[in-house]
Homo-oligomer: A and B are copies of this chain.
Amino acid sequence: MASPSVDFARQNQQRFLNELKDLLRIPSVSTAPEHKHDVQRAADFVAAELRRIGMENVEIIPTKGHPLIYADWLHASGKPTVLCYAHYDVQPAEPLNEWISPPFEPAERNNNIYARGAVDDKGQLWMEVKALESLMRAHNGKLPINVKVIFEGEEEVGGESIAEYVRKQKAKLKADFALVCDTELFAPDLPTLCVGLRGLVYTEIEAQGAKTDLHSGMYGGAAPNPLFALIEIISKMKDAKGKVLIPGFYSKVKAPTAAELKAWKELPFNEEHYRKTEVGSKVLTGEPGFSVLYRTWARPTLEVHGMPGGFVAAGAKTVIPARASAKVSMRLVPNQDPEDIFKRFSNFVKKHTPKGIETKIKVWSKGPACVVGTDNKFVKASTEAMREVFHKETVFIRSGGSIPIVTDFQDVLKIPSVMMGFGLPDDNLHAPNEKFHIPNFHRGIESLCLFFEKLGKS
Protein backbone atom coordinates (compact mmCIF):
# COMPACT_ATOMS: atom_id res chain seq x y z
CA MET A 1 0.00 0.00 0.00
CA ALA A 2 2.81 2.40 -0.79
CA SER A 3 0.99 5.60 -1.63
CA PRO A 4 2.14 9.19 -1.21
CA SER A 5 -1.45 10.36 -0.63
CA VAL A 6 -1.96 7.84 2.17
CA ASP A 7 1.36 9.00 3.65
CA PHE A 8 0.16 12.60 3.56
CA ALA A 9 -3.15 11.63 5.18
CA ARG A 10 -1.35 9.77 7.98
CA GLN A 11 0.89 12.73 8.69
CA ASN A 12 -2.13 15.04 8.96
CA GLN A 13 -4.53 12.91 10.98
CA GLN A 14 -4.75 15.25 13.96
CA ARG A 15 -5.35 18.32 11.81
CA PHE A 16 -8.03 16.53 9.77
CA LEU A 17 -9.80 15.58 13.00
CA ASN A 18 -9.58 19.09 14.42
CA GLU A 19 -11.08 20.51 11.27
CA LEU A 20 -13.92 18.00 11.46
CA LYS A 21 -14.62 19.13 15.02
CA ASP A 22 -15.00 22.70 13.79
CA LEU A 23 -17.56 21.54 11.24
CA LEU A 24 -19.40 19.49 13.90
CA ARG A 25 -19.74 22.58 16.10
CA ILE A 26 -22.11 24.14 13.56
CA PRO A 27 -25.66 22.93 14.40
CA SER A 28 -26.81 22.50 10.80
CA VAL A 29 -30.17 20.89 11.66
CA SER A 30 -31.96 21.08 8.33
CA THR A 31 -35.49 20.41 9.59
CA ALA A 32 -35.43 23.27 12.13
CA PRO A 33 -36.24 26.73 10.73
CA GLU A 34 -34.32 28.32 13.61
CA HIS A 35 -31.14 26.64 12.37
CA LYS A 36 -31.41 27.86 8.77
CA HIS A 37 -28.50 30.22 9.28
CA ASP A 38 -26.38 27.43 10.77
CA VAL A 39 -27.01 25.25 7.74
CA GLN A 40 -25.76 28.12 5.57
CA ARG A 41 -22.71 28.50 7.82
CA ALA A 42 -21.90 24.79 7.40
CA ALA A 43 -22.15 25.19 3.62
CA ASP A 44 -19.80 28.20 3.73
CA PHE A 45 -17.33 26.24 5.87
CA VAL A 46 -17.23 23.29 3.46
CA ALA A 47 -17.06 25.43 0.31
CA ALA A 48 -14.17 27.47 1.73
CA GLU A 49 -12.21 24.30 2.38
CA LEU A 50 -12.86 22.95 -1.13
CA ARG A 51 -11.45 26.22 -2.47
CA ARG A 52 -8.46 26.09 -0.14
CA ILE A 53 -7.39 22.57 -1.13
CA GLY A 54 -7.43 23.48 -4.83
CA MET A 55 -10.81 22.40 -6.14
CA GLU A 56 -12.09 24.60 -8.95
CA ASN A 57 -15.40 26.24 -9.83
CA VAL A 58 -16.52 26.06 -6.22
CA GLU A 59 -20.11 27.26 -5.97
CA ILE A 60 -22.61 27.65 -3.17
CA ILE A 61 -25.86 27.16 -5.01
CA PRO A 62 -28.93 28.73 -3.39
CA THR A 63 -32.14 26.65 -3.50
CA LYS A 64 -35.68 26.96 -2.17
CA GLY A 65 -34.36 25.16 0.90
CA HIS A 66 -30.72 24.82 1.94
CA PRO A 67 -27.80 25.42 -0.44
CA LEU A 68 -25.99 22.86 -2.55
CA ILE A 69 -22.22 22.94 -2.91
CA TYR A 70 -20.56 22.19 -6.25
CA ALA A 71 -16.87 21.96 -7.12
CA ASP A 72 -14.78 20.20 -9.72
CA TRP A 73 -11.28 19.41 -10.95
CA LEU A 74 -11.35 18.10 -14.51
CA HIS A 75 -7.78 17.96 -15.79
CA ALA A 76 -7.16 14.18 -15.76
CA SER A 77 -7.63 13.77 -19.43
CA GLY A 78 -8.76 10.30 -20.48
CA LYS A 79 -9.41 9.23 -16.93
CA PRO A 80 -12.81 8.44 -15.41
CA THR A 81 -14.93 11.09 -13.71
CA VAL A 82 -16.38 10.60 -10.24
CA LEU A 83 -19.28 12.56 -8.76
CA CYS A 84 -18.59 12.79 -5.02
CA TYR A 85 -21.70 13.05 -2.88
CA ALA A 86 -22.22 13.63 0.86
CA HIS A 87 -24.43 15.86 3.01
CA TYR A 88 -23.56 18.51 5.57
CA ASP A 89 -26.96 18.76 7.29
CA VAL A 90 -27.80 16.76 10.41
CA GLN A 91 -30.76 15.34 12.29
CA PRO A 92 -32.20 17.23 15.29
CA ALA A 93 -30.33 16.43 18.49
CA GLU A 94 -33.38 15.89 20.73
CA PRO A 95 -33.77 14.43 23.34
CA LEU A 96 -30.94 16.63 24.60
CA ASN A 97 -30.89 15.31 28.16
CA GLU A 98 -29.73 11.88 26.95
CA TRP A 99 -26.44 13.15 25.49
CA ILE A 100 -23.41 12.48 27.67
CA SER A 101 -21.59 15.43 26.11
CA PRO A 102 -23.48 18.24 24.29
CA PRO A 103 -24.37 17.33 20.69
CA PHE A 104 -22.63 20.32 19.13
CA GLU A 105 -19.50 20.26 21.29
CA PRO A 106 -17.52 17.34 19.83
CA ALA A 107 -15.93 15.19 22.54
CA GLU A 108 -13.43 12.33 22.25
CA ARG A 109 -14.01 9.20 24.33
CA ASN A 110 -12.65 5.66 23.70
CA ASN A 111 -11.22 6.60 20.32
CA ASN A 112 -14.62 7.86 19.17
CA ILE A 113 -15.70 11.37 18.37
CA TYR A 114 -19.15 12.14 19.78
CA ALA A 115 -21.37 14.78 18.17
CA ARG A 116 -24.57 15.10 16.15
CA GLY A 117 -23.49 14.48 12.56
CA ALA A 118 -20.18 12.84 13.52
CA VAL A 119 -20.84 9.88 11.22
CA ASP A 120 -24.09 11.01 9.53
CA ASP A 121 -22.74 12.59 7.53
CA LYS A 122 -20.26 15.35 8.29
CA GLY A 123 -17.49 12.93 9.26
CA GLN A 124 -17.88 11.04 6.00
CA LEU A 125 -18.18 14.23 3.96
CA TRP A 126 -14.94 15.38 5.55
CA MET A 127 -13.30 12.03 4.57
CA GLU A 128 -14.02 12.87 0.95
CA VAL A 129 -12.64 16.40 1.25
CA LYS A 130 -9.55 15.21 3.08
CA ALA A 131 -8.93 12.40 0.56
CA LEU A 132 -9.07 15.01 -2.23
CA GLU A 133 -6.65 17.22 -0.29
CA SER A 134 -4.25 14.31 0.30
CA LEU A 135 -4.32 13.33 -3.36
CA MET A 136 -3.74 16.93 -4.48
CA ARG A 137 -0.83 17.39 -2.11
CA ALA A 138 0.76 14.03 -3.00
CA HIS A 139 0.44 14.55 -6.77
CA ASN A 140 1.68 18.12 -7.22
CA GLY A 141 -1.74 19.74 -7.19
CA LYS A 142 -3.29 17.16 -9.46
CA LEU A 143 -5.90 14.45 -8.96
CA PRO A 144 -5.55 10.98 -10.50
CA ILE A 145 -9.09 11.10 -11.92
CA ASN A 146 -11.60 13.82 -12.79
CA VAL A 147 -13.69 14.84 -9.81
CA LYS A 148 -17.00 16.61 -9.45
CA VAL A 149 -18.36 17.31 -6.00
CA ILE A 150 -22.01 17.80 -5.11
CA PHE A 151 -22.83 18.17 -1.42
CA GLU A 152 -26.31 18.88 -0.09
CA GLY A 153 -27.87 20.32 3.07
CA GLU A 154 -31.30 18.70 2.89
CA GLU A 155 -30.60 14.98 3.12
CA GLU A 156 -32.34 14.68 6.47
CA VAL A 157 -35.45 16.44 5.16
CA GLY A 158 -35.96 14.65 1.87
CA GLY A 159 -33.37 16.21 -0.43
CA GLU A 160 -35.78 17.97 -2.77
CA SER A 161 -33.34 20.61 -3.96
CA ILE A 162 -30.62 18.21 -5.05
CA ALA A 163 -33.19 16.04 -6.81
CA GLU A 164 -34.35 19.07 -8.78
CA TYR A 165 -30.78 20.18 -9.48
CA VAL A 166 -29.76 16.75 -10.79
CA ARG A 167 -32.69 16.84 -13.20
CA LYS A 168 -31.80 20.33 -14.43
CA GLN A 169 -28.02 19.95 -14.58
CA LYS A 170 -27.51 16.56 -16.15
CA ALA A 171 -24.58 17.71 -18.31
CA LYS A 172 -22.85 19.59 -15.52
CA LEU A 173 -23.06 16.60 -13.18
CA LYS A 174 -22.32 13.97 -15.83
CA ALA A 175 -19.77 11.45 -14.53
CA ASP A 176 -18.88 7.80 -14.87
CA PHE A 177 -20.00 6.89 -11.39
CA ALA A 178 -21.00 8.46 -8.11
CA LEU A 179 -19.26 8.04 -4.79
CA VAL A 180 -21.63 8.16 -1.83
CA CYS A 181 -20.16 8.13 1.67
CA ASP A 182 -23.17 7.86 3.97
CA THR A 183 -23.37 4.19 4.99
CA GLU A 184 -21.62 1.85 7.39
CA LEU A 185 -19.35 -1.14 7.76
CA PHE A 186 -21.22 -4.34 8.47
CA ALA A 187 -18.92 -5.05 11.40
CA PRO A 188 -15.84 -3.37 12.88
CA ASP A 189 -12.82 -3.94 10.60
CA LEU A 190 -14.95 -5.53 7.88
CA PRO A 191 -14.75 -3.56 4.60
CA THR A 192 -18.24 -3.17 3.23
CA LEU A 193 -19.95 -1.91 0.13
CA CYS A 194 -23.58 -1.04 0.38
CA VAL A 195 -25.46 -2.10 -2.75
CA GLY A 196 -29.08 -1.55 -1.79
CA LEU A 197 -31.18 0.98 0.06
CA ARG A 198 -34.81 1.12 1.11
CA GLY A 199 -37.02 3.93 -0.11
CA LEU A 200 -39.07 6.19 2.14
CA VAL A 201 -42.46 7.84 2.20
CA TYR A 202 -42.62 10.09 5.27
CA THR A 203 -46.02 11.60 6.01
CA GLU A 204 -47.83 13.54 8.68
CA ILE A 205 -51.53 12.79 9.12
CA GLU A 206 -53.25 15.91 10.43
CA ALA A 207 -56.59 15.40 12.15
CA GLN A 208 -59.11 18.03 13.21
CA GLY A 209 -62.15 17.50 15.42
CA ALA A 210 -63.76 20.35 17.34
CA LYS A 211 -63.00 23.94 16.41
CA THR A 212 -61.12 24.58 19.65
CA ASP A 213 -59.63 22.60 22.53
CA LEU A 214 -62.39 21.39 24.84
CA HIS A 215 -62.61 20.32 28.49
CA SER A 216 -62.85 16.54 28.59
CA GLY A 217 -65.21 16.72 31.56
CA MET A 218 -67.73 18.96 29.87
CA TYR A 219 -67.46 17.44 26.40
CA GLY A 220 -66.19 13.90 26.86
CA GLY A 221 -68.88 11.70 25.31
CA ALA A 222 -69.97 14.19 22.65
CA ALA A 223 -66.91 15.84 21.07
CA PRO A 224 -64.72 13.99 18.56
CA ASN A 225 -61.12 13.45 19.68
CA PRO A 226 -58.61 13.70 16.80
CA LEU A 227 -55.90 12.01 18.87
CA PHE A 228 -58.07 8.97 19.45
CA ALA A 229 -59.09 9.06 15.78
CA LEU A 230 -55.41 8.85 14.77
CA ILE A 231 -54.97 5.95 17.17
CA GLU A 232 -57.93 4.18 15.56
CA ILE A 233 -56.62 4.77 12.04
CA ILE A 234 -52.99 3.86 12.68
CA SER A 235 -53.84 0.78 14.75
CA LYS A 236 -55.46 -0.68 11.65
CA MET A 237 -52.37 -0.10 9.48
CA LYS A 238 -50.20 -2.85 10.94
CA ASP A 239 -50.91 -6.06 12.82
CA ALA A 240 -49.23 -7.15 16.03
CA LYS A 241 -46.64 -9.14 14.08
CA GLY A 242 -45.52 -6.19 11.99
CA LYS A 243 -47.43 -6.99 8.79
CA VAL A 244 -48.69 -3.84 7.09
CA LEU A 245 -52.42 -4.12 6.41
CA ILE A 246 -52.82 -1.39 3.80
CA PRO A 247 -54.36 -3.20 0.80
CA GLY A 248 -51.83 -3.87 -1.96
CA PHE A 249 -48.89 -2.68 0.14
CA TYR A 250 -46.82 -5.78 -0.66
CA SER A 251 -48.12 -6.44 -4.19
CA LYS A 252 -45.06 -5.15 -6.06
CA VAL A 253 -42.37 -6.19 -3.58
CA LYS A 254 -39.33 -7.73 -5.32
CA ALA A 255 -37.54 -10.30 -3.18
CA PRO A 256 -33.71 -10.48 -3.04
CA THR A 257 -32.07 -13.14 -5.23
CA ALA A 258 -31.25 -16.54 -3.81
CA ALA A 259 -27.53 -15.72 -4.14
CA GLU A 260 -27.96 -12.51 -2.18
CA LEU A 261 -29.90 -14.25 0.59
CA LYS A 262 -27.20 -16.93 0.75
CA ALA A 263 -24.45 -14.27 1.06
CA TRP A 264 -26.39 -12.53 3.87
CA LYS A 265 -26.51 -15.79 5.81
CA GLU A 266 -22.71 -15.95 5.69
CA LEU A 267 -22.27 -12.49 7.20
CA PRO A 268 -20.99 -12.36 10.78
CA PHE A 269 -24.34 -11.57 12.37
CA ASN A 270 -25.43 -12.69 15.82
CA GLU A 271 -29.09 -11.90 16.37
CA GLU A 272 -28.85 -12.15 20.15
CA HIS A 273 -25.85 -9.80 20.24
CA TYR A 274 -27.67 -7.39 17.95
CA ARG A 275 -30.76 -7.49 20.18
CA LYS A 276 -28.78 -6.89 23.34
CA THR A 277 -26.18 -4.36 22.26
CA GLU A 278 -27.80 -2.45 19.43
CA VAL A 279 -31.51 -2.53 20.13
CA GLY A 280 -31.47 -3.27 23.84
CA SER A 281 -35.05 -4.55 23.94
CA LYS A 282 -36.45 -7.73 25.49
CA VAL A 283 -37.25 -9.23 22.11
CA LEU A 284 -36.95 -8.26 18.47
CA THR A 285 -40.12 -7.67 16.52
CA GLY A 286 -41.17 -7.88 12.90
CA GLU A 287 -42.65 -10.26 10.37
CA PRO A 288 -42.25 -13.94 11.20
CA GLY A 289 -40.45 -16.07 8.62
CA PHE A 290 -37.90 -13.40 7.65
CA SER A 291 -34.43 -13.03 9.15
CA VAL A 292 -33.47 -9.75 10.85
CA LEU A 293 -31.30 -8.72 7.88
CA TYR A 294 -34.08 -9.60 5.46
CA ARG A 295 -36.63 -7.65 7.53
CA THR A 296 -34.51 -4.52 7.85
CA TRP A 297 -32.93 -4.55 4.36
CA ALA A 298 -35.50 -6.01 2.01
CA ARG A 299 -38.95 -5.89 3.63
CA PRO A 300 -41.07 -2.74 3.68
CA THR A 301 -42.12 -1.41 7.09
CA LEU A 302 -44.38 1.20 8.65
CA GLU A 303 -43.47 3.23 11.73
CA VAL A 304 -44.92 6.06 13.84
CA HIS A 305 -42.36 8.66 14.88
CA GLY A 306 -44.33 11.14 16.96
CA MET A 307 -47.83 12.41 17.63
CA PRO A 308 -47.90 16.17 18.13
CA GLY A 309 -51.04 17.60 19.68
CA GLY A 310 -52.93 17.82 22.94
CA PHE A 311 -51.08 18.15 26.21
CA VAL A 312 -47.60 16.65 26.28
CA ALA A 313 -45.91 18.47 29.18
CA ALA A 314 -45.53 16.91 32.62
CA GLY A 315 -48.74 16.70 34.60
CA ALA A 316 -52.41 16.37 33.75
CA LYS A 317 -54.54 18.51 31.50
CA THR A 318 -58.07 17.35 30.81
CA VAL A 319 -58.25 18.50 27.24
CA ILE A 320 -59.88 17.11 24.14
CA PRO A 321 -57.55 18.68 21.58
CA ALA A 322 -59.05 20.34 18.52
CA ARG A 323 -56.15 19.16 16.39
CA ALA A 324 -53.53 16.42 16.52
CA SER A 325 -51.22 14.79 14.03
CA ALA A 326 -49.11 11.69 13.56
CA LYS A 327 -45.79 11.36 11.77
CA VAL A 328 -46.01 8.02 9.96
CA SER A 329 -43.41 6.71 7.52
CA MET A 330 -43.05 3.69 5.32
CA ARG A 331 -39.75 2.15 4.17
CA LEU A 332 -39.99 0.76 0.67
CA VAL A 333 -38.13 -2.03 -1.12
CA PRO A 334 -37.33 -2.53 -4.82
CA ASN A 335 -40.25 -2.26 -7.24
CA GLN A 336 -42.57 -0.52 -4.75
CA ASP A 337 -43.55 2.79 -6.33
CA PRO A 338 -43.65 5.65 -3.77
CA GLU A 339 -46.55 7.33 -5.61
CA ASP A 340 -48.55 4.13 -5.64
CA ILE A 341 -47.80 3.42 -1.98
CA PHE A 342 -48.69 6.97 -0.97
CA LYS A 343 -51.99 6.69 -2.83
CA ARG A 344 -52.82 3.43 -1.09
CA PHE A 345 -51.86 4.98 2.25
CA SER A 346 -54.02 8.07 1.61
CA ASN A 347 -56.99 5.97 0.60
CA PHE A 348 -56.57 3.89 3.72
CA VAL A 349 -56.49 6.96 5.96
CA LYS A 350 -59.51 8.42 4.20
CA LYS A 351 -61.47 5.20 4.47
CA HIS A 352 -60.75 4.75 8.17
CA THR A 353 -61.14 8.36 9.32
CA PRO A 354 -63.97 8.26 11.85
CA LYS A 355 -66.98 10.52 11.56
CA GLY A 356 -66.59 13.95 13.07
CA ILE A 357 -62.90 14.07 12.13
CA GLU A 358 -61.24 15.60 9.10
CA THR A 359 -57.85 14.32 8.01
CA LYS A 360 -55.26 15.77 5.67
CA ILE A 361 -51.92 14.24 4.81
CA LYS A 362 -48.69 16.18 4.48
CA VAL A 363 -45.76 14.49 2.70
CA TRP A 364 -42.36 15.27 4.21
CA SER A 365 -40.39 13.08 1.79
CA LYS A 366 -40.89 10.43 -0.84
CA GLY A 367 -38.34 8.28 -2.69
CA PRO A 368 -38.05 4.73 -4.03
CA ALA A 369 -35.71 1.94 -3.00
CA CYS A 370 -32.56 1.30 -4.98
CA VAL A 371 -30.30 -1.65 -5.72
CA VAL A 372 -27.03 -0.95 -7.54
CA GLY A 373 -25.01 -3.30 -9.72
CA THR A 374 -21.67 -4.74 -8.58
CA ASP A 375 -20.15 -5.79 -11.91
CA ASN A 376 -18.28 -2.62 -12.90
CA LYS A 377 -14.68 -1.42 -12.57
CA PHE A 378 -15.58 1.21 -9.98
CA VAL A 379 -16.90 -1.36 -7.55
CA LYS A 380 -13.87 -3.54 -8.25
CA ALA A 381 -11.38 -0.72 -7.59
CA SER A 382 -13.15 0.33 -4.41
CA THR A 383 -13.22 -3.21 -2.98
CA GLU A 384 -9.51 -3.61 -3.77
CA ALA A 385 -8.72 -0.31 -2.08
CA MET A 386 -10.60 -1.27 1.04
CA ARG A 387 -8.99 -4.71 1.11
CA GLU A 388 -5.57 -3.07 1.15
CA VAL A 389 -6.52 -0.76 4.02
CA PHE A 390 -8.45 -3.32 6.09
CA HIS A 391 -6.59 -6.52 5.01
CA LYS A 392 -9.93 -8.29 4.53
CA GLU A 393 -12.28 -9.11 1.65
CA THR A 394 -15.09 -6.64 1.13
CA VAL A 395 -18.66 -7.81 1.76
CA PHE A 396 -21.76 -6.59 -0.07
CA ILE A 397 -24.70 -5.57 2.05
CA ARG A 398 -27.84 -3.50 1.83
CA SER A 399 -29.04 -0.82 4.21
CA GLY A 400 -32.52 -0.34 5.56
CA GLY A 401 -32.10 3.41 5.35
CA SER A 402 -32.85 5.63 2.40
CA ILE A 403 -30.57 7.74 0.21
CA PRO A 404 -32.94 8.90 -2.52
CA ILE A 405 -30.13 10.60 -4.41
CA VAL A 406 -28.65 7.19 -5.30
CA THR A 407 -31.84 6.43 -7.21
CA ASP A 408 -31.63 9.79 -8.96
CA PHE A 409 -28.01 9.19 -9.96
CA GLN A 410 -29.09 5.89 -11.45
CA ASP A 411 -32.32 7.00 -13.11
CA VAL A 412 -31.46 10.55 -14.17
CA LEU A 413 -27.69 10.61 -14.65
CA LYS A 414 -27.58 6.92 -15.61
CA ILE A 415 -24.54 6.26 -13.46
CA PRO A 416 -23.96 3.61 -10.80
CA SER A 417 -23.17 4.59 -7.23
CA VAL A 418 -20.38 3.21 -5.11
CA MET A 419 -21.61 3.41 -1.52
CA MET A 420 -18.48 3.30 0.60
CA GLY A 421 -19.40 4.03 4.18
CA PHE A 422 -17.31 3.79 7.31
CA GLY A 423 -19.84 4.09 10.12
CA LEU A 424 -20.44 1.30 12.62
CA PRO A 425 -23.72 -0.33 13.54
CA ASP A 426 -23.61 1.11 17.06
CA ASP A 427 -22.84 4.69 16.00
CA ASN A 428 -26.25 5.96 17.24
CA LEU A 429 -27.34 7.56 14.00
CA HIS A 430 -30.36 9.83 14.55
CA ALA A 431 -30.10 9.12 18.29
CA PRO A 432 -28.40 10.69 21.29
CA ASN A 433 -24.63 10.18 21.53
CA GLU A 434 -23.99 9.80 17.82
CA LYS A 435 -20.34 8.95 17.27
CA PHE A 436 -17.73 8.17 14.61
CA HIS A 437 -14.95 5.72 15.40
CA ILE A 438 -11.82 7.81 14.79
CA PRO A 439 -9.73 5.01 13.18
CA ASN A 440 -12.56 4.52 10.67
CA PHE A 441 -12.47 8.22 9.77
CA HIS A 442 -8.81 7.80 8.84
CA ARG A 443 -9.26 4.42 7.14
CA GLY A 444 -12.03 6.00 5.09
CA ILE A 445 -9.70 8.73 3.86
CA GLU A 446 -7.02 6.18 3.03
CA SER A 447 -9.47 3.91 1.21
CA LEU A 448 -10.70 6.80 -0.91
CA CYS A 449 -7.12 7.83 -1.76
CA LEU A 450 -6.24 4.33 -2.93
CA PHE A 451 -9.54 3.94 -4.76
CA PHE A 452 -8.97 7.06 -6.86
CA GLU A 453 -5.33 6.23 -7.46
CA LYS A 454 -6.30 2.77 -8.72
CA LEU A 455 -8.83 4.25 -11.10
CA GLY A 456 -6.23 6.73 -12.29
CA LYS A 457 -3.92 3.89 -13.24
CA SER A 458 -6.51 1.71 -14.95
- State the A residues within 8 Å of B (CB): 31-33, 91-92, 94-95, 98, 156-158, 198, 200, 202, 204, 209-225, 227-228, 230-232, 234-236, 238, 240, 242, 274, 278-287, 290, 292, 295-296, 299, 301, 303-321, 327, 329, 331, 354-358, 364-365, 399-402, 425, 428-433
Contact = CB atoms under 8 A, between A and B. Distances in A.
Kindly report how many copies of this chain are found in the complex they form together: 2
Contacts of A211: 279-281
B231 A200 contact: no
Contacts of A428: 212
Nearest to A425: B218
A290 B91 CA distance: 49
Contacts of A430: 213-216, 317-319
B295 A321 contact: no
12 contacts: A92-B313, A217-B402, A225-B285, A228-B303, A232-B240, A240-B354, A281-B356, A282-B356, A306-B321, A308-B313, A317-B430, A318-B401
The binding surface of chain A is classed by DSSP as loop
A208 to B, nearest CB: 8
Contact of A304 (B231, B274, B282, B313): B231
Contacts of A221: 242, 286-287, 290, 292, 295-296, 299, 301, 331, 400
Nearest to A232: B235
Contact of A31 (B227, B301, B303, B313): B313
A317 B92 contact: yes
A339 B133 CA distance: 70
A317 to B, nearest CB: 6
A200 B219 contact: no
Contacts of A220: 296, 301, 303, 331, 400
Given A216-B329, A217-B402, A225-B285, 13 more contacts: A92-B315, A98-B213, A156-B316, A157-B316, A221-B242, A221-B287, A221-B295, A222-B295, A225-B304, A285-B356, A303-B318, A306-B311, A318-B329
A280 B212 contact: yes
A196 B318 CA distance: 18
Contacts of A214: 278-279, 430-431
